[in-house]
Amino acid sequence: MAGHHRAPVRRWTVSTPRGLPPGRRAASVRTRGLSRPRRALYLLALALGLGLGGCQDEPPRTPHVLFITLDSVRADRLGSYGYQQRDCTPVLDALATESVLFEQSFAASSFTPPSHASLFTGLYPSEHGLTYWNRKLADVPTAAELFAAAGYRTLAISPLKTLFLVGLERGFEQTFELPFVQEQGRMLLGDAEAINATILPELTAPGERPFFAWLHYYDAHRVYGRQGEQWARRYTDARVPLAVGDSEDYYQLGPEPRPGKAMSQADLNPAQARFISDRYDGGLAYLDQQLGKLFDALEAAGVLDDTLIVITADHGEVLSEHAEQWFSHDPHLVDENIRVPLLLRLPPSAGGAEHAGRRVASLASGVDLLPTLLSLAGVDAGSSRPSGIDLAPLVRGAGGARREVVFAERQAKDRRGEDGVSDDEALRLRDMSRMLRTVTHKLVHHVDRGTFALYDVNDERTDLFGSRPEQAAALVARYQAELARLSTLQSADSGLDDEALAQLAELGYLSKAPDGQ
């Protein structure tokens, strides 16, 4: 339900750096409607009175829900999380003053598909089954399905088509896919400006149903694109020659790409490492500015104050802090990869002003988002049985359950079904790791090696497992107890088409495109 249009508002917008080329506008967008059985189910729910209709002049009885995921954005690069080197997130920092901020929020995985699936199902990767691009989400309720059954209009937009081919599209009436953009011989994903241009008409259009909208922004993800380079000029005059390679090459040092020398393995001197880190901040600054434009448009349309806003990330990014990884988010479960921002801005009708600026020190996990959103929006959980806890009491300052530990896991490509790879061999090659973290310490289990490591969270380079046997034993026991609670579901092969596989190859997730392209 959009309200009356108001005079233009520029409360959130920040200035564009001089010399920034105009952003790409949205290209042709494909929409995907609901399957006939699901559409019938949702129309039946509306007919039974579960819809939230009303005249356009009235505020919605329950809020719109705007679920924003910022790919590869680590918490400690936001000013509201203590970043002091430069001011690259003024919009998000301003939003934090109007939100409840969780200081210790962690993704359930360090990889895009399983982490998003955990956000939308409240289950860990081993439970929902979407562990890699070649797997598909198990038959479990999703946030979009639950909100749709409650009468919400559900829509999603992402520049990464493959997210809509592995089960994350379930429950969305419309999914908007931004195609690759050709620029200077490179294939680039649609940027934040293209996302805003495409989705804002949908979010601000008058309607009788509240929306549940998922917006997935990719601008901070490697290869830290063109926008990142332009915005990085705000922060440094150091110019290090860089070229862009395809697939697994990422950025390469020197004027030409060096095939096979991935950026995450490159030998970088300190100046080069700083420059690439600046590009990351530049991409984040560009994304932050575009979020300001999104919020301005929603405020001008009278929608913002009727909306519950959730901002988080699927994972973070290592920016040369760990020699074995350099610039990437796979596969290690270090804090740079899994500690993510979590902001929840409540609408005024839900006590937004009362709770604005609250900071929650308790641990939070990506699996907590589903039960929390259902609680805050007053939506029935249906048949969902999330592993996460409801954070709504903490959001409202009323106490409630607090986490003692967070759990995360990462599994590399599932090779079951590949020619010449037996199921036993596939399990051996899966390269799985799991993590249990308290406020002060982290236990990492390298499943396939059968080894454990113990770290102080302030020093993830020094393994304490052998030197602190009692503490290690206690955490291993807690880890085994958490593991025993997980239910394992059967997931199917994703069956990605050639176009989707080519997109993954372009982004470096696959060694080559299908048919050798």
Residue 417 domain-assigned (yes or no): no
- Give the amino acid at 267: D
Residue 57 domain-assigned (yes or no): yes
Q: DSSP secondary structure string, 246-265?
A: SGGG-EEESSS--TT--GGG
> Cis ω on the peptide bond leading into residue 159 (within 30° of 0)?
no
Residue 408 domain-assigned (yes or no): no
pLDDT at 224: 66
Residue 200's domain comprises 30-381
Task: Determine the distance from the C-alpha atom of residue 487 to the mean position of all C-alpha atoms in its chain, rounded to a whole number.
Answer: 23
Residues 6 or more apart whose Cβ sits within 8 Å of residue 480 = none
- Cα separation of 21 and 184, whole Å? 14
- Cα separation of 321 and 273, whole Å? 10
Number of domains composing the chain:
1
**Structure token digits, residue 196:** 């805003």
- Cα separation of 213 and 298, whole Å? 13
Question: DSSP letter at 46?
Answer: I
Which range is most confident: 39-53, 138-152, 321-335?
138-152
How many of the other CB atoms lie within 10 Å of CB of 421? 13
**Structure token digits, residue 156:** 């999603």
Q: What is the tens place of the pLDDT at every residue in 408-427? A: 998 765 555 555 555 555 55
Reduce the secondary structure of 183-233 to three states and give it as a string: ECCEEECCCHHHHHHHHHHHHHCCCCCCEEEEEEECCCCCCCCHHHHHHHC
- Cα separation of 212 and 217, whole Å? 16
Q: What is the tens place of the pLDDT at every residue in 469-502? A: 899 999 999 999 988 888 655 444 444 445 544 5
Residue 414 domain-assigned (yes or no): no
Residue 389 domain-assigned (yes or no): no
The distance between the two most distant Cα atoms of the chain, rounded to a whole number of Å, is 67
Residue 396 domain-assigned (yes or no): no
Residue 242 has pLDDT above 70, yes or no: no
Residue 13 domain-assigned (yes or no): no
Residue 445 domain-assigned (yes or no): no
**Structure token digits, residue 406:** 């967070």
Residue 28 has pLDDT above 70, yes or no: no
- Residue predicted with more confidence, 109 or 486: 109
Residue 298 has pLDDT above 50, yes or no: yes
* Cβ pair 70, 313 in contact under 8 A: yes
Residue 64 has pLDDT above 70, yes or no: yes
Supply the CATH number for residue 141's domain.
3.40.720.10
- Cα separation of 406 and 367, whole Å? 10
pLDDT at 236: 62
Reduce the secondary structure of 328-357 to three states and give it as a string: ECCCCCCHHHHECCEEEECCHHHCHHHHCC
- Cα separation of 411 and 434, whole Å? 9
